Amino acid sequence: MKCTRAIVASQPSWIIRNKQVELAITELGGKMAPVKFYRHTKSSVQPYYISPWQNEGLKIDDPVLRTLRGDFFCMPFGAASTFRGERHVDHGEPATNRWKFVAAYEADGITSLTLTMTGRKLPGKITKGLYLLDGHNVVYCQHMLTGFSCRVPLAHHATLAMP
């Protein structure tokens, strides 16, 4: 199996890889980084940012900033948002709460990782699927929402590393 657990930039994370891509995703907030793309070379392209305070042991009050990195799913999307009269943490529970491991597999040229989390403020279940296909220099990502009965702004929040 090409799924392992490790502490990455101070956060417990799952790691999956194939020959073209390696990615880490945090347990807290489901944030994906680092992601290393290999284009037939030994050195990788790493497009996602990881906040520099991750290994400094700082007390950070804003939950989304504690693990800030890479790409993550937001619901409701927005900073310190109020939705239907309820206050939500920046970018919502998927960006700040713990995700649970469901499964990882490698078969027929596909490496995948499935995680879930259950919302408390917005009741329902989110299932996150990450897929790496042999020969593809891409991360395929899917979020399935079940049990929700509201309209809510959603987003993928990419945090890119800029030179």
Average pLDDT, the chain: 88
For residue 76, what are its two tokens? 């409701």
Of 1-10, 35-44, 85-94, 100-109, minimum mean pLDDT range: 85-94
Nearest CA-CA partner of 72 in 128, 146, 148, 121: 128
Which residue is listed with tokens 């939500």? 88
Say if residues 112 and 142 touch (Cβ distance below 8 Å).
Answer: no
Q: Does pTM surpass 0.85? A: yes
For residue 121, what are its two tokens? 């403020």
Nearest CA-CA partner of 70 in 115, 22, 118: 22
Mean pLDDT (whole number) for 104-117: 96
Say if residues 33 and 69 touch (Cβ distance below 8 Å).
Answer: yes
pLDDT tens digits for range 51-97: 888 777 777 777 777 788 899 998 877 666 666 677 777 778 888 89
Of 57-66, 94-103, 153-162, minimum mean pLDDT range: 57-66
